[in-house]
Amino acid sequence: MSTSGDTIYFKNLDGLRAIAAFSVILFHCGWWFMYPDTSFYKALKFLLVFGGEGGHLGVKFFFVLSGFLITYLMFSEREKRGKLNVPYFYVRRVLRIWPLYYLTLIVGFLIYPWLMHLAGKNFEETASGFLYSVFAANFDNIYNGFPKAGILGVQWSVAVEEQFYLTWPLLFYAFSRKKFFPLLLLAIIILSEIFFIHADTFAERNFHLFSCFRFLAFGGLLAWVCFVKPQQVRAFFRIINKASTFFIYIACIWLMLFQRHLLLSIPWYKYINHFLPILFFGFVIVEQNYSANSFFKIGSFRILNWLGKISYGLYLTHMIAIYIVMAVFPHDARFGLLKIFTAVSITVLISHVSYYYIESFFLSLKNKFSIVKTASPQAA
């Protein structure tokens, strides 16, 4: 992490965003495309879906990272300006999130059904356009099931983040100066965990704000530790050498890849299976930005940094690309690798165009409401 005047830059966060986005993209490529029944393609699909957990892990990573960065920038703004400007915070979130989000709703609710009718197919979307338009897509998934068009299948997590953004600055404004603030964050994590354990359905456990809040609040708790005790954080990582860091990465990745096959058979593990990812994601975020003993830094990979800058578009539009591929290629097991390559290429192209010709305009407006500057366009 580096600072210059009023500018804060976590050099390695963009690359981490890219990895999280591609874990979701490849997960959906693995499930939506058909593949030949061969050992190669079975292994390939296992890796694409990351043992069946890739999409879920990518979203959880986004939640932890968002909670960390948003909360850290709030602390920075309060330190530099004396308080958090809550209205400015909301304006920044609107300018960052809304343009592309509503564009994908137009595609999912208007353009895609229109194309289906042109093709002579009877199509009626089951999702509620109203709930999606007010950032309640996660609740629509809970009460009405998944949308009929997969193009609308990823907006639920954006809705969760918007609900978080609505409440978090108010909690921060009211309690961040209190000594018990970290205990408050810990209490929120525990209450969210209790809600998760007692939720009645899969949808409630995975899509409800109260259930997802533990990931976002954990990121906020990490931000408090890093902001209030940065020297202690750096000292902690000085005692972890490169070999130990490498072992932690490999061991956690291996366990997450095979946890469905090795760990979920343990009766009680299903209730805590998210603790390994959440702790590992927190470790990665802090280690990448505060450790001097990293065996590699994500920020050194330029392509990942660039993909991280357009990661919001990658996440929101990749199902559009997958639907294009399914419309162009035969709906059978042929051309498996070509389908994946084409879907990823179209996703990157759409996201590049969206970022530079649509989102950048609103990002330039967002900067006018940024009290603490950041070099990352994804930040608050």
Q: Where are the domains of the chain?
A: 2-238+295-374
From first to last of the 380 residues of the chain, give the pLDDT tens digit.
655 555 677 888 999 999 999 999 999 999 999 999 999 999 999 999 998 889 999 999 999 999 999 999 999 999 998 999 999 999 999 999 999 999 999 999 999 999 999 988 889 999 999 999 999 999 999 999 999 999 999 999 999 999 999 999 999 999 999 999 999 999 999 999 999 989 999 999 999 999 999 999 999 999 999 999 999 999 999 999 999 999 999 999 998 888 777 766 777 676 667 788 899 999 999 999 999 989 889 988 999 999 999 999 999 999 999 999 999 998 899 999 999 999 999 999 999 999 999 999 999 888 788 766 565 555 55
**Phi and psi at residue 123, to the nearest 5°:** -140, 125
- Return the closest-CA partner of residue 252 out of 235, 276, 226, 284: 276
> Per-residue b/e over 257-267, b at no fewer than 16 CB within 10 Å?
bebeeeeeeee
- Return the closest-CA partner of residue 144 out of 126, 159, 130, 131: 126
- 218 within 8 A of 197, measured Cβ to Cβ: no
According to DSSP, residue 154 is labeled S
Distance CA 50, CA 87 (A): 40
Residues in the chain, overall count? 380
Is the four-CA dihedral 281, 286, 291, 297 of positive or negative sign? positive
Strand, helix or coil at 188? helix
What number of other Cβ atoms are within 10 A of residue 192's Cβ? 21
* 225 CA to centre of own chain: 21
Distance CA 314, CA 62 (A): 13
Helix, strand, coil % over all residues of the chain, rounded to 5: 75, 0, 20
Say which residue the tokens 């009877």 belong to.
122
Distance CA 72, CA 355 (A): 25
Distance CA 5, CA 139 (A): 42
What number of other Cβ atoms are within 10 A of residue 364's Cβ? 11
Distance CA 332, CA 291 (A): 47
Q: Give the pLDDT of residue 307.
A: 96
- Return the closest-CA partner of residue 347 out of 28, 115, 16, 31: 28
Q: Give the pLDDT of residue 374.
A: 61
- Cα pseudo-dihedral 203, 205, 207, 210, rounded to 10: 140
Rg (CA), the chain: 21
CA angle, residues 136, 139, 144, in degrees to nearest 5: 120
Residue type, 39: S
* 323 CA to centre of own chain: 21
- Return the closest-CA partner of residue 350 out of 303, 301, 316, 309: 316
Alpha carbons within 13 angstroms on the beta-carbon side of residue 318 total: 26
Total-model pTM: 0.93
- 300 within 8 A of 11, measured Cβ to Cβ: no
**CA-CA distances (angstroms) from residue 255 to 247, 262, 275, 284?**
12, 8, 12, 15
**Phi and psi at residue 372, to the nearest 5°:** -105, 120
Q: Give the pLDDT of residue 369.
A: 81
